[in-house]
Amino acid sequence: MSRIGNRRLVIPEGVTVEVKDNVVTVTGPKGSLSTAVAKNITITQEENELVVTRSNDENKTRAMHGTINANINNMIIGVTKGYQKEIEIIGVGYRFALKGNKLVINAGYSHPVELEIPQGLTVEVPSNTELTIKGIDKIKVGEFAANIRKVRPPEPYKGKGIRYKDEHVRRKEGKKAA
């Protein structure tokens, strides 16, 4: 029994959910998102609730039951509240900058690293060492944040690098002089 798959999703005011040909479209005040649904999963709408059910107990169907329920829940949250990730960069001379539709990262390499900002995301640079990524799609926000972090992951000795705002980097002790 999938607990996540069996939960009922409450549709808030101002959000409409439409199911057509195994595609779920969620529209809200911040925008619209859609996702495909596996063929053995059915979605029914009862007043202001969505119910996700599966037709059989095969392994793949059971796995997709909870996943689809969670994805639809993430879409409902995205079109109402939105998602955001905060990133910070630590190191001498390390900084973020926006140049048009590109994010320029100076992270100690001989060249600045430029990343294209994906469609549907907004990037704000409150200071040159902080970055905020906002969007309605949780997957896009998380993936772009992970790609930024991949440019220079935090290292355990001095703690330099790119990290999430709430991330704890486990520090190691360096070599001792004899």
62-79 pLDDT, tens digit each: 889 999 999 999 999 999
**pLDDT at residue 128, rounded to an integer:** 92
Contact residues for 165 (Cβ-Cβ < 8 A; gap 6+): 86, 87, 88, 130
**pLDDT at residue 104, rounded to an integer:** 96
**pLDDT at residue 3, rounded to an integer:** 83
Q: What is the CATH number of domain 3-80?
A: 3.90.930.12
Instruction: Average the pLDDT over 131-146 and give the result.
Output: 96
Q: CA-to-CA distance for 68 and 5, rounded, in angstroms?
A: 8
Concatenating the DSSP letter of every residue in 120-131 gives T-EEE-SSTTEE
Q: Tell whether the model's pLDDT for residue 1 goes beyond 60.
A: no
Other Cβ atoms closer than 10 A to 136: 24
Domain residue extents for the chain:
3-80, 83-164
- Can you tell me whether residue 138 is helix, strand or coil? helix
**pLDDT at residue 77, rounded to an integer:** 95
Q: CA-to-CA distance for 178 and 170, rounded, in angstroms?
A: 25
Closest C-alpha among 29, 130, 127 to residue 84: 130
Instruction: Average the pLDDT over 141-161 and give the result.
Output: 94
Residue whose pair of structure tokens reads 């599966």 in the numeric block: 54
Instruction: Average the pLDDT over 125-134 and give the result.
Output: 95
Provide the terminal-to-terminal Cα distance of the chain, rounded to the nearest Å: 60
**Sheet of 113-116, strands arranged across:** 95-99, 102-106, 113-116
Instruction: Average the pLDDT over 101-125 and give the result.
Output: 94
Average pLDDT, the chain: 92
24-38 pLDDT, tens digit each: 999 999 999 999 998
**pLDDT at residue 148, rounded to an integer:** 96
Instruction: Average the pLDDT over 113-130 and give the result.
Output: 94
Q: Does domain 83-164 have CATH number 3.30.2090.10?
A: no
Q: Tell whether the model's pLDDT for residue 127 goes beyond 80.
A: yes
Q: Do the first three CATH levels of 3-80 and 83-164 match, i.e. the same topology?
A: yes
For 86, the enclosing helix (H) or strand (E) is strand 83-90
- Burial readout 73-110 (b: 16 or more C-beta within 10 A, e: otherwise): bbbbbbbbebbebebbbbbeebbbeeeeeebebbbeee
**Sheet of 23-28, strands arranged across:** 16-20, 23-28, 31-36
